[in-house]
Amino acid sequence: MQLIRDLGKFIAWLPDIFSKPENWGMYYKETVRQMYDIGIGSMSIVMLISGFIGAVTAIQFSYQLSGGFIPDYYIGYIVRDIMIIEMAATLTCIVLAGKVGSTMAAEIGGMRQKEHIDAMEIMGVNTSSYLVLPKLIASVIVIPLLVTIALIVGIAGGYIAATYVAGLTPVEFEKGLRFLFDPYNVVMMYVKAITFSLIITSVACFQGYFVSGGSIELGQASTRAVVFGSINILIADLIIALLLMG
């Protein structure tokens, strides 16, 4: 019930967000600031996680494949496809829903509680637009870039693990990387990345913008941004998989 009411409120909110900016320069500045915050702020965690996932995938599969009929170079193939199809986009965005989502919700919610939003409204600023649109644009640009980085670092992690731990030669791993490559999966990865960035940002901004009460409510809003963001990402992941693979 609450969910349906929130959804209605969110849809009613959209026209305000996408109304014409009063000053392009200020929006541009805010977008750049957000891009910097999201991108630089999350780079290391994204690299760390994807590198480990790539490495663990390589080690696990080399163990499973050892002594079987499947050739060793399949490890490169598996690492590549697991990263492209699922890990790079979905895992990165789940992590970002935690990191970026909670920060955004807390930032906007804090502005609501400290009357910053009221102050801007009184000046005549369309706060729905000014506080949300730059974040949406920034995340749609930066998060797919982070996903790309996750993909590269993940494969690098797989490469290091496969060659140093599992005893593959670099040539074999590379052969695996080229094996049965379908560019369509890469397109799908970016479709997911863009969809998930929209989800992370809009859920977080919604939770922050309509917060009321005090610091306990602010914490709850931040938590909801993470939980609802992650759940929605998983649901969207499933829908995209069904639509684009079917």
Contacts with another protein by CB under 8 A lie at 22-23, 25-26, 114-116, 118-119, 121-126
Please report, for residues 47, 67, 191, the alpha-carbon distance to residue 61 in angstroms, rounded to integers and kept in the order given: 21, 12, 28
Tell me whether residue 59 is exposed, middle or buried, using C-beta atoms within 10 angstroms of its C-beta: 0 to 12, 13 to 18, 19 or more: middle
The C-alpha angle with vertex 72 and arms to 69 and 74, in degrees rounded to 5, equals: 95
| Count of C-beta atoms within a 10 Å radius of residue 213 | 11
Whichever of 16 and 86 has its CB closer to another protein, that residue is 16
Residue 36 φ then ψ, to 5°: -60, -50
CB of 11 to another protein, least distance (A): 18
Residues near 196 by beta carbon (within 8 Å), at least 6 away in sequence: 89, 90, 93, 96, 97, 143, 233, 236, 237
- The whole-angstrom separation of Cα 192 and Cα 204 is 18
CB of 6 to another protein, least distance (A): 19
Whichever of 1 and 122 has its CB closer to another protein, that residue is 122
CB of 127 to another protein, least distance (A): 11
CB of 3 to another protein, least distance (A): 22
CB of 122 to another protein, least distance (A): 4
Whichever of 30 and 172 has its CB closer to another protein, that residue is 30
Residues near 167 by beta carbon (within 8 Å), at least 6 away in sequence: 62
Whichever of 28 and 181 has its CB closer to another protein, that residue is 28
Place of tokens 């593959």: 168
Whichever of 126 and 220 has its CB closer to another protein, that residue is 126
Whichever of 22 and 182 has its CB closer to another protein, that residue is 22
Tokens of 87: 């890990």
CB of 204 to another protein, least distance (A): 18
